[in-house]
Amino acid sequence: MSDLALLGGTPVRDTPFPEWPAYSTEEEAGVVLDALRSGHLCGAAGGTYNPAFEEAFASWCGATGAVTCNSGSSAIHVALEAVGVGPGDEVIVPVYTYYASGTSVLVAGAIPVFADITPGESNLDPGAFEAAITDRTKAVMVVHADGVPANMDAICEVADRHGISIVEDCSHAHGASYRGIRTGILGDVGAFSIQHKKILSVGEGGVVVSKHPEVVERARAFVNLGGGTDTGVLGPNLRMGEMHGALALKRMTRVDDENRQRRDNADCLLADVADLPGVRPVPVGIPDHIEPVYYNLILAYEPDELGIDRKTFSDAVQAEGVPLRSGFYKPLNLLPVFAEQQAWPYLLEENKPSVARGLYGPGKCPVGEAFMEKGHLELKVHPPVGEREMWGAGAAIKKVIEGVGSLADREARDAL
C-alpha cells in the first residue's frame, strides 16, 4: 500500500471532482435571453415562462398546482402559511436539516419544536414525532433529508390520528418518490428550494406544491402580497422573476436523467464500501418502495472502529482527491437563533406556553446530535460525477482505512 496523501504520499485522484451545477446548455442560455428580450420580466408584466414552469412542475410532481417564489426558505414559509400556521402554533421539525427549515417556522410567527431522527437514518423518527406532539401542534415538517424520502407510512398515520398538517421540505428531494408518489404531494403541502446547489438549480428560487386546490390558492395569494389590494390580508411580495422561470422550465427536463445518474453513482460507491469497517451507509438499505435521489450520499462514521476522529478521516480522504466532507449541519436545537429564544415569535404572548416548556439545548435529540457532531460524512454525487469518480472515492476510502494505523500514530503524536 502506498503512503497516504495526507502524510506525503501520492493521492488516488489528482483531478478535482466536477462541480455542481456544472454546465449550462446553449438552449438554457437561449430561454433566459428570450425571457430577457421579451420585455415581460415578471408574471405581473405578462411573462409566460413562470406560469409555464408552475404548470410543468405541478404535473411532474402529480400536484394540483404549483406556486413559485424567491427562495426555498420562502417556499417553506408560504407552505406553512397555506396550511394556517401562525402565532400560538408549534411545528415539529427534525433536528437534522438546514436551519432554514426551523427559521421559516419562526418567520411564520410559530414555534419550532425539534424532534430526533431515527437511529441509523437521517430522517424524522415517527416515534419522536409523536412524543413531541402537544395540543398546540399544528403541523409537522418532514424533510426528505439528502434526497431519501422519510418514513411516510408511519408519519402520515401519526399525523392523521392527531389531526396535524404535514408540510414537506423537499429541498433535497426533487423527483424522489415513496410508493410511486413523488415528494411534495405525500403530505398536505410541499416546499422546494431551486437555489444554485439544488437538484433543480436556477440561482435563487422556490416552489410550493399541493394536491389540495385550496392550499395552492392560499399559497398563490400569500406570495402576491396576501392576495391583492381588496383582500385585507397581509402578505409579502415573494414572487420569482421570469428569467428564473425560463431557466427552471428548461432545466427541469434533465432532472429525471440526472437523478438516475445520482442513483447509479450511489449504488456504485455503496457496493464498494459495504463491508468496510468504520463507515456505514445512511440508511443501511433502502426499501423497494422508496426511490431516493441522493442530493448527498451520506455515510455514518464510526470513530471507535478505526481509532481516529472523523475530521482526521475526512481530511485524509480529501487529501486523496475525494471531497468527503464532515459535519455540515449543526443540530438545530443547539443553534443560537433557537436556543437563545430572542427572535420576535418567542416574545409573543400567544407563544409563551411553548417557550415556558424549555424546548431546546443539548441532549434533547441525542441521536441527531451524536450523528451530526461525530458521525456524519457527506459526498456529492451529482452528474457529471460518474463511475470514474465513484471508483476513486471507493479506492480513497479503502486506502485511508488500510492506512489508519499511521493516522492514529500521528493523532497520538499531535496530542503529546
Residues that bind ligand PLP (CB under 6 A): 71-73, 97-98, 100-101, 143, 169, 171-172, 193, 195, 206
Residue nearest ligand PLP (C-beta atom): 72
Query: Judged by CB, which is closer to ligand PLP: 171, or 224?
Result: 171
Q: Measured on CA atoms in the order 212, 117, 77, 89, is the torsion positive or negative?
A: positive
Query: DSSP string covering 62-119, please?
Result: T-SEEEEES-HHHHHHHHHHHTT--TT-EEEEESSS-THHHHHHHHTT-EEEEEPBPT
- Residue whose CB is less far from ligand PLP, 174 or 263: 174
User: Distances from the Cα of 413 to the Cαs of 2, 108, 394, in angstroms?
Assistant: 21, 51, 28
E strands, 135-289, in order: 137-143, 165-169, 177-178, 181-182, 189-193, 206-210, 279-281
- Indicate the residue among 169 and 320 with the shorter CB distance to ligand PLP: 169
CB of 143 to ligand PLP, least distance (A): 5
The residue (of 97 and 354) whose beta carbon lies closer to ligand PLP is: 97
Q: Which amino acid is residue 181, in one-letter code?
A: I
* Nearest alpha-carbon partner for 122 in 290, 243, 297, 257: 297
The distance of closest approach from Cβ of residue 100 to ligand PLP in the complex, given in angstroms and rounded to an integer, is 4
Scan for cell 418532514, then name that residue.
142
C-alpha pair distances (Å), 161 with each of 130, 154, 156, 199, 302: 10, 11, 8, 33, 37
Query: Which of residues 195 and 351 has its CB atom nearest to ligand PLP in the complex?
Result: 195
Q: What's the min distance (Å) between Cβ of 98 and ligand PLP?
A: 4
d(CA 280, CA 229): 55
The three three-digit cell numbers of residue 16, written as one number: 478535482
Minimum distance from residue 3 beta carbon to ligand PLP (Å): 37
The candidate with the shortest Cα–Cα distance to 79, out of 101, 111, 112, is 101
Shortest CB 76 distance to ligand PLP, Å? 6
Residue placing its CB nearer to ligand PLP in the complex, 222 or 313 = 222
If the CB atoms of residues 81 and 169 are measured against ligand PLP, the closer one turns out to be 169
Q: Which residues are paired to 181 by β-bridges? A: 178
CB of 46 to ligand PLP, least distance (A): 26
Cβ 349 to ligand PLP, closest distance in Å? 29
Does residue 335 contact residue 341 with C-beta atoms inside 8 Å? Answer: no
Nearer to ligand PLP, 107 or 279 (CB): 107
Q: Please, are residues 142 and 166 in contact by the beta-carbon 8 Å criterion?
A: yes
Smallest separation (angstroms) from ligand PLP to the CB of 404: 32
Q: Are 263 and 70 in contact (CB under 8 A)?
A: no
CB of 249 to ligand PLP, least distance (A): 18
What residue type is assigned to position 217 of the chain?
A: E
In terms of CB distance, is 174 or 399 closer to ligand PLP? 174
CA atoms within 13 A on the CB side of 98: 16
